[in-house]
């Protein structure tokens, strides 16, 4: 059983930084990718970033490129999302997601296709 547990959400000031963590378990094969999806009530889900388990390849949404960094600690089964220069439009519930197989931009553009989801962690941005 795959489990994804997010942590690290909270209140951050505009221009500040925040780091989200996703501790995972139960992924049985080496070929998978883990990423972050965010959602604001009333809006569509948006793929934010994802990283492949083996190669470490990453993809980012244009809206966060250059500000957010996704990384992984394979020994700790944890993926991180370092959020820098946070903007008001970054406020959302952030979900950790995972799927077996290779990583491509298509995955971020079709967030509903991810097979495994965490419970979400809320990020609030103050001005």
Residue corresponding to tokens 């094969």 = 29
pLDDT band at 100 (very low <50, low <70, confident <90, very high): very high
Based on C-alpha coordinates, what's the Rg of the chain?
Answer: 13
Q: At 105, is the secondary structure helix, strand, or coil?
A: helix
Is 125's pLDDT higher than 80?
A: yes
pLDDT at residue 28, as a whole number:
80
Is 29's pLDDT higher than 90?
A: no
For 50-93, how does the pLDDT look when each residue is reduced to its tens digit (9 = 90+)?
999 888 899 999 999 999 999 999 899 999 999 999 999 999 99
């Amino acid at each position: 059983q795959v489990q994804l547990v997010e942590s690290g959400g909270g209140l951050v000031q505009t221009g500040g930084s925040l780091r989200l963590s996703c501790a995972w378990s139960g992924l049985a094969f080496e070929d998978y990718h883990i990423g972050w999806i965010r959602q604001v009530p009333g809006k569509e889900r948006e793929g934010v970033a994802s990283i492949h388990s083996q190669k470490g390849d990453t993809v980012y949404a244009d809206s966060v490129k250059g500000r957010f960094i996704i990384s992984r600690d394979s020994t700790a089964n944890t993926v991180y999302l370092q959020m820098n220069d946070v903007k008001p439009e970054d406020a959302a519930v952030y979900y950790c997601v995972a799927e077996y197989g290779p990583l491509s931009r298509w995955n971020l553009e079709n967030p509903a296709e991810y097979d495994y989801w965490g419970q979400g962690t809320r990020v609030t941005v103050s001005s």
